[in-house]
Structure 1
Amino acid sequence: MSAPQDSPPQRRSGLRDPQRAVRGLGAGTLALEALVLLLAIQPIRVAGGDLGGAAIGAVVALAVAAAVLAGLMRRSWAWHAGTALQGLLLLSGLLHWSLFALGVIFALVWAYVWHVRRVILG
């Protein structure tokens, strides 16, 4: 016997709106990244880091880009732009080693966000 035609489609995740949940996870991650990047400037400078103007400019630009991307998570390309942002943060490690450390941490978090997205959305 087949299932009735009027039954609603089954949701794999059990979430009411999986797309929205995944977008929220991506946006929250990028917003947190922007906040951490901005808050990291002063501790890096105090802890003996020779954080020059170029490095501070790069951190601020990356934080702004992360905040903008957090607001654009409805666009499918924003996920790929978020991945590129992680790569740029890793490259900013050339300016200061602590930026590379932050890049590794957030790249791992972003990889986990992609994993969750793949599991929930299929």
Structure 2
Amino acid sequence: MIGPEENATSSETTPAAAGPRPSGLRNPQAAVRGLGAGTLALEVIVLLLTIAPLSVIAGDRSGPAITAVLVLAGAAVVIAGCMKRNWAWGAGTAVQVLLIAGGFLHWTLAAVGVIFGLAWAYGLHVRRTILG
């Protein structure tokens, strides 16, 4: 049986008393990198799927809008592969800003940019929460 003295010492060694609670992940950096890369990969798929509707509904302005989609999709692929680098998170944020700015070419680019900008902001929040 555990006496009151032993019980008091065992409660002092719990993780809650030791400091902030760990995330519970075996490799938190890899999990966060996967989140960022997965978000960018999904964005690439959606961007490439917007080419067909853009060619129909953008009319005369479809050329610059499709070029912007292809450039941003290519940049997102490269950034997703470089998520181990510290600059990749800033570059991913820049892709979201540029996609929203693409709304000057066609409003659908801004709509996709807002949706993925919110997803990216959530990813940044999760990164900050897990890694500190």
TM-score (norm 1): 0.88
| Alignment of 1:49 onto 2:48 | no
- RMSD over aligned Cα, in angstroms? 1.8
Corresponding residue of 1:23: 33
Q: 1:101 is matched by which residue type in structure 2? A: A
- Name the structure with the higher helix share: 2
Paired residue type of 2:87: W
Residue 11 of structure 1 and its aligned partner are, at CA, apart by 6.4
Seq. identity, % = 63
The aligned counterpart of 2:98 is 88
Answer 1 or 2: higher relative contact order, Cα 8 Å, separation at least 6. 1
Q: Kindly indicate whether residue 50 of structure 2 is the aligned counterpart of residue 40 of structure 1.
A: yes
Question: For each residue in 1:62-111, what CA deviation from the matched residue of structure 2 results, as whole angstroms up to 9, or x when unmatched?
Answer: 00000110000000000000001100001111000000000100110000
Checking the alignment, whether the CA contact within 8 Å between 2:40 and 2:76 is kept in structure 1 is yes
Distance 1:85 1:77 in 2: 12
Unaligned runs of 5+ in 1: 4-9
TM-score normalised over the length of structure 2: 0.81
Residues in 2 aligned to 1:88 and 1:66: alpha-carbon distance in whole angstroms: 11
Cα deviation, 1:12-50, whole Å, max 9, x if unaligned, reads 11000000000000001011111110111102333x232
The answer on whether the counterparts of 2:54 and 2:65 sit within 8 Å (CA) in structure 1 is no
The structure with the largest alpha-carbon Rg is 2
Question: In the alignment, which of 95, 101, 107 is matched to residue 111 of structure 2?
Answer: 101
